[in-house]
Amino acid sequence: MLIFEHSHAGRRAQAQAPQQAAAADDLPAEFLRQQAPGLPETSELDVVRHYTRLSQKNFSIDTQFYPLGSCTMKYNPRACNSLAMLPQFLSRHPLADADTGQGFLASMHDLQEMLKEVTGMAGVSLAPMAGAQGEFAGVAMIRAYHEARGDHERSEIIVPDAAHGTNPATATMCGYTVREIPTDRQGNVDLEALKAVVGPKTAGLMLTNPSTLGVFEKTIVAIQKIVHEAGGLTYYDGANLNAILGRVRPGDMGFDVIHMNLHKTFSTPHGGGGPGAGPVGVSERLKPFMPIPYVVEDKGFHRWAEEADCPQSIGRMSAFGGNMGVLMRAYIYARMLGREGMHRVADYAALNANYLAAELSKAGFELAFPERRASHEFIVTLKKLKDETGVSAMDFAKRLLDYGYHAPTTYFPLLVPECLLIEPTETESKQTLDGFVAAMKAVKQEAEADAELVKSAPHTLPAKRLDDVKAARELDLAWKPA
């Protein structure tokens, strides 16, 4: 039932609205609404009960193991939430003077410094509100850099075919043409293909490392050099930063710009789709172009750097500077981890991924890159199972839901047929992973014995398999009373 169907004419949550104020009879009628918007008429209890029940229809990290590859679904510590929501932080207006927010601004500055250290970059701006916006900022900086040097011929961004869809989409948004290059059989960027496409038109390369295939680019320094020698800049997509945190630094590898997904590596909540935070780190030569605002410190006083401080900035990503509450959560998390906690993230993320890969391999699952170390995630391909039983990766994923496990990522990366991309994260115990292996085995046996059971899954969730085709063909995007 929808909240609208709980509506009862004349009912209100009395305590939540202010007293009736005078009518706005000073405003001419042409500006006013004639008919009230059709919002629900409900009591506080109606609303609390409805949305509490809705929440119970979700899988979440707090209720299930969530090995969704490429998404880093690690535990979101509760203290990060409660401390970021202290009333002084929540009630501060974004345009209030810096004097009124030294506690907040010091936290943001500390976070910038920590992110600089952990990435090895020369500067960090917290402005981008998500990974995709961080990518946008990064590529826009690459463009601004070339333009500032009067180098207007560079019109292409090189993107490996294994990349997330945001990479090519971002390059397009920044006015670039995308040159896609293939991946070799070992899961590495094809160096010969890269050499063939770089040239005077190359503005830059966007590289995800470890790649979406779950392996470290062994030739990353060579890749870098090829692009730099052609006059292009290098972009490090930090989507998989969890795998290398405290172990290697993109700055040390010579990258010009990186974005980080704090909702992955720094454990801020995914919130059913957002908000995220996608800070960017840059090399010395890109510092003048960083998006504003970012925090500057002068003799212990913190304030936002704005247009006047950085005239070459690519500009603003949002009206007020970013997803501050998310950044606060990341900061609190980073303070609890500390310097010695950073590398432990990568250590145990790698341990869990390699253990899970080993156990699944022993259980008869085919790894896409069996000869490679898993980074923090790895790929299982179900192509053989599909050929033998007709059970697809999607069917398999849906059946796992019945066992109480969120499905791994399916059909991404696009290069591996019938794939499951599995990322356990460092916060799961061996016992949880063992339970997941048992469920994977059980589903595989079911697929072999009774394929229809798996193909028609899920069976125990609030909804059975949903019809995506009907949803797209007969658009129903807003409720209308029958």
Partner 1 sequence: MPFIPHTQEDVAAMLQSIGARSIEDLFDEIPADLKCGGLEAIPAGEPEMTVTRLMYERAAQDGFYLNFIGAGAYEHHIPAAVWQIVTRGEFYSAYTPYQAEASQGTLQLIYEYQTMMTRLTGLDVSNASLYDGASGLAEAVLMAVRAAKNGARRVLVPGSLHPRYRAVAQAVVKNQNIELVEIPFDPASGTTLLDALKSYEGQPSAALVIPQPNFFGALEAVDLLTDWAHANGMLAIAVVNPMSLALLKAPGQWGGQGADICVGDGQPLGVPMASGGPYFGFMTCKQVLARQMPGRIVGRTVDRDGKSGFVLTLQAREQHIRRAKATSNICSNQGLLVTAATIHMALLGAEGLKRVALASHANTKALIEKLCAIPGVTRAFKAPFFHEAVLRVGSESGEVLRALRAQGILGGYALGRDFPGMEDAILLCATETKTGSDLDRYAQQLERILSRRREAPPCAYKS
Applying the rule CB under 8 A, the residues between 142 and 171 that interact with partner 1 are 143, 164-166, 168-171
Site for partner 1 in 349-368 (CB under 8 A): 350-352, 354-355, 358-359, 362
Q: Which is nearer to partner 1, 339 or 384 (CB)?
A: 339
For residues 104 and 87, the answer to whether their CB atoms sit within 8 Å is: no
Question: Judged by CB under 8 A, does residue 320 bind partner 1?
Answer: yes
Q: Which is nearer to partner 1, 27 or 150 (CB)?
A: 27
Q: Which residues contact 139 (CB under 8 A, 6 or more apart)?
A: 157, 170, 171, 173, 174, 176, 204, 206, 235
> From its phi and psi, is residue 150 left (phi > 0), alpha (psi between -120 and 50) or beta?
left
Least distance in Å: CB of 389 to partner 1?
A: 19
Least distance in Å: CB of 305 to partner 1?
A: 14
Q: Which is nearer to partner 1, 48 or 196 (CB)?
A: 48
Question: Judged by CB under 8 A, does residue 132 bind partner 1?
Answer: yes
Q: Which is nearer to partner 1, 167 or 389 (CB)?
A: 167
Task: Give the separation between CA 364 and CA 367, rounded to whole angstroms.
Answer: 9
Indicate the SS3 state at residue 326: helix
At residue 301, φ and ψ (nearest 5 deg) are -100, 130
Least distance in Å: CB of 205 to partner 1?
A: 15
* Binding window for partner 1 (CB under 8 A); candidates: 192-200, 224-232, 337-345, 385-393: 337-345
Site string for partner 1, 440-479 (x = CB under 8 A): ----------------x-x--xxxxxxxx-xxx-xxxxxx
From residue 180, give the alpha-carbon distance in Å to each of 59, 91, 157.
36, 47, 8
* Binding window for partner 1 (CB under 8 A); candidates: 96-104, 198-206, 227-235, 379-387: 96-104
Least distance in Å: CB of 260 to partner 1?
A: 14
Tokens 């999607």 correspond to what residue?
394
Question: Judged by CB under 8 A, does residue 131 bind partner 1?
Answer: yes
Task: Give the separation between CA 381 and CA 16, rounded to whole angstroms.
Answer: 53
Task: Give the separation between CA 217 and CA 186, rounded to whole angstroms.
Answer: 10
At residue 153, φ and ψ (nearest 5 deg) are -85, -10
Site string for partner 1, 3-42 (x = CB under 8 A): xx-------xx-xxxxxxxxxx-xxx-xxxxx-xxxxxxx
Return the residue of 185, 340, 370, 482 that touches partner 1, per CB under 8 A: 340
Question: Judged by CB under 8 A, does residue 274 bind partner 1?
Answer: yes
Count of residues that interact with partner 1, criterion CB under 8 A? 196
* Binding window for partner 1 (CB under 8 A); candidates: 191-199, 313-321, 383-391, 444-452: 313-321
424 cis-preceded (ω within 30 degrees of 0): no
Return the residue of 121, 260, 282, 397 that touches partner 1, per CB under 8 A: 397
Question: Judged by CB under 8 A, does residue 197 bind partner 1?
Answer: no
Q: Which residues contact 361 (CB under 8 A, 6 or more apart)?
A: 367, 370
Task: Give the separation between CA 392 and CA 394, rounded to whole angstroms.
Answer: 5
Least distance in Å: CB of 199 to partner 1?
A: 19
Longest dimension (CA), the chain: 77
Least distance in Å: CB of 1 to partner 1?
A: 9
For residues 375 and 213, the answer to whether their CB atoms sit within 8 Å is: no
Return the residue of 199, 288, 341, 435 that touches partner 1, per CB under 8 A: 341
Indicate the SS3 state at residue 436: helix
Indicate the SS3 state at residue 277: coil
Task: Give the separation between CA 4 and CA 21, rounded to whole angstroms.
Answer: 27
Q: Which is nearer to partner 1, 270 or 444 (CB)?
A: 270
Nearest alpha-carbon partner for 397 in 444, 344, 433, 363? 444
* Binding window for partner 1 (CB under 8 A); candidates: 2-10, 189-197, 228-236, 381-389: 2-10
Site for partner 1 in 411-430 (CB under 8 A): 412, 426-430
Nearest alpha-carbon partner for 210 in 254, 266, 250, 257? 250
